[in-house]
């Protein structure tokens, strides 16, 4: 039996430390050079602290179901990045770098962890944007982060989403981004949300997908386009190689691979791109990779029980395996 279970005083000390850390995270929510995090939602009382980052155009509520199910396992802090969920977009100075808003997001999440005095934190991001922010925070500050989990994020710089032909040289990526940036700004708000974000199709549950699409509409096209252009220009492969050499990679990538038809349908080129990404990450960077078959990108909602179990197994050092549900939708 642990000391905490034997001693009421030890139990109170443990609870007090957890509460103090949670309050610190709320109080320090959390400064980047161009804009603060829009929101930090803290739930749970588990010993392990976990930072949860949403994807493009989403707010903290994308993680609400996961938080409600795992309160005894973790103390979770779900963030809304500046500019999302109807919040004010980051500043953009005239001399801003190509990655100004991504850099700001990384610094704000890092400040959230650092100012609260947390150690051995788990950082989990959803989608390519949330996953990239999580990977950068974890690899740039390995002294603060024990594990990085990216949920349905494309490989760091290769291939681009939609590519089915392998590695795209970085300079070619930049040329493509230079072309796409102005094109994104030509969309009106409806075209942007229906054609580019299109989150209605990212979950098997149509009601949940519609809810996520409604949230995404709180983010103006101009804000979403700026984040997307920065994301598409990002190449994390040098940082990942350095982390792998130093033994600090600790990256767990989870992919949703849908089917050609049915409730979990997914375009063939997207499925192929994810297969390539998984191979690159596992073989070239030593990441742990697991596939959720018959799933769309909101894996934590499509297959909640299996998702939660896989995360718990990974964090406990257990082997993780690809998931094959018995049907397109598993009620768990």
Q: Which of 194 and 105 is assigned the larger pLDDT?
A: 105
Which strands make up the sheet holding 288-293, listed edge to edge?
A: 39-43, 74-80, 48-53, 121-126, 145-151, 251-257, 288-293
Tell me the per-residue pLDDT of 256-294, one tens digit each, with 9 for 90 and over: 887 655 555 555 556 566 666 776 676 667 788 898 988
Asked if 203 contacts 216 with a C-beta cutoff of 8 angstroms, the reply is no
Q: Which of 190 and 37 is assigned the larger pLDDT?
A: 37
Would residue 104 count as lying in a domain?
A: yes
Place of tokens 């598409």: 232
Asked if 25 contacts 40 with a C-beta cutoff of 8 angstroms, the reply is yes
DSSP 204: S
CA separation for the pair 210, 95 (Å, rounded): 38
CA separation for the pair 51, 314 (Å, rounded): 16
CA separation for the pair 262, 246 (Å, rounded): 44
Q: How far is CA 299 from CA 255, 285, 313, 316, in A?
A: 8, 23, 16, 20
Retrieve residue 210's tokens: 């519609």
Would residue 27 count as lying in a domain?
A: yes
Q: What is the pLDDT of residue 328?
A: 47
Would residue 1 count as lying in a domain?
A: no
**CATH number, domain containing residue 217:** 3.40.50.1820
CA separation for the pair 125, 279 (Å, rounded): 20
Q: What is the pLDDT of residue 264?
A: 53
Please enumerate in sequence order all residues whose Cβ is within 8 A of that of 80, keeping only pairs 6 or more positions apart, or say none: 37, 38, 39, 40, 54, 59, 60, 87
Would residue 320 count as lying in a domain?
A: no
pLDDT at 183 over 70: yes
Beta strand 121-126 with 74-80 is: unpaired
Q: Which of 263 and 57 is assigned the larger pLDDT?
A: 57
Question: Residues of the chain with pLDDT > 70: what percent?
Answer: 73
Would residue 189 count as lying in a domain?
A: yes
Q: What is the pLDDT of residue 4?
A: 37
DSSP 257: E
pLDDT at 214 over 70: yes
Would residue 212 count as lying in a domain?
A: yes
Would residue 321 count as lying in a domain?
A: no
pLDDT at 21 over 90: no
Q: Domain range for residue 258? A: 7-315
- Closest listed residue to residue 101, CA positions, set 113, 87, 115, 114: 87
Asked if 221 contacts 229 with a C-beta cutoff of 8 angstroms, the reply is no
Asked if 285 contacts 242 with a C-beta cutoff of 8 angstroms, the reply is no
CA separation for the pair 24, 249 (Å, rounded): 28
SS3 content of the chain, % helix, strand, coil (to 5): 50, 15, 35
| Tally of domains in the chain | 1
Secondary structure of residue 43 in the 3-state scheme: strand
pLDDT at 198 over 70: no
Tell me the per-residue pLDDT of 112-151, one tens digit each, with 9 for 90 and over: 999 888 989 999 999 989 999 999 999 999 999 999 999 9
Max mean pLDDT among 61-65, 243-247, 252-256 falls in 61-65
Asked if 168 contacts 264 with a C-beta cutoff of 8 angstroms, the reply is no
Would residue 325 count as lying in a domain?
A: no
pLDDT at 298 over 80: yes
Place of tokens 């290769």: 158
Q: What is the pLDDT of residue 237?
A: 79
């Amino acid at each position: 039996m642990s000391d905490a279970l034997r001693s009421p005083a030890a139990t109170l000390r443990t609870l007090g430390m957890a509460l103090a850390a949670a309050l610190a995270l709320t109080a320090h929510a959390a400064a980047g050079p161009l804009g603060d995090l829009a929101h930090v939602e803290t739930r749970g009382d588990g010993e392990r602290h976990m930072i949860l980052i949403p994807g493009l155009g989403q707010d903290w509520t994308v993680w609400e179901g996961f938080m409600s199910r795992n309160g005894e396992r973790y103390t979770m802090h779900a963030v809304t990045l500046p500019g999302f969920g109807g919040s004010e977009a980051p500043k953009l100075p005239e001399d801003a770098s190509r990655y100004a808003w991504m850099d700001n997001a990384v610094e704000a999440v890092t400040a959230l962890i650092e100012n609260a005095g947390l150690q051995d934190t788990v950082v989990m991001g959803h989608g390519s944007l949330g996953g990239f922010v999580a990977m950068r925070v974890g690899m740039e500050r390995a002294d603060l982060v024990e594990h990085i989990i990216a949920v349905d994020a494309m490989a760091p710089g290769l291939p681009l989403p939609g590519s089915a032909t392998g590695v795209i040289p970085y300079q070619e990526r930049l040329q493509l981004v230079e072309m796409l940036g102005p094109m994104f700004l030509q969309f009106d708000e409806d075209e942007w949300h229906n054609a580019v974000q299109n989150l209605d199709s990212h979950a098997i549950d149509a009601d949940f997908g519609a809810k996520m699409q409604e949230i995404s509409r709180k983010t103006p096209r101009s804000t979403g386009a700026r984040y997307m252009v920065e994301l598409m220009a990002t190449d994390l492969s040098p940082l990942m190689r350095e982390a792998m050499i130093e033994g600090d990679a600790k990256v767990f990538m989870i992919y949703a691979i849908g089917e050609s038809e049915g409730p979990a349908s997914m375009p063939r080129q997207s499925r192929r791109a994810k297969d390539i990404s998984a191979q690159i990450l596992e073989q070239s960077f030593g990441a742990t990779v697991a596939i959720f078959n018959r799933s769309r990108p909101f894996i934590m909602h499509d297959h909640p029980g299996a998702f939660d179990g896989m995360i718990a197994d990974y964090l406990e050092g257990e082997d993780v395996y690809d998931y094959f549900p018995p049907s397109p939708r598993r009620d768990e």
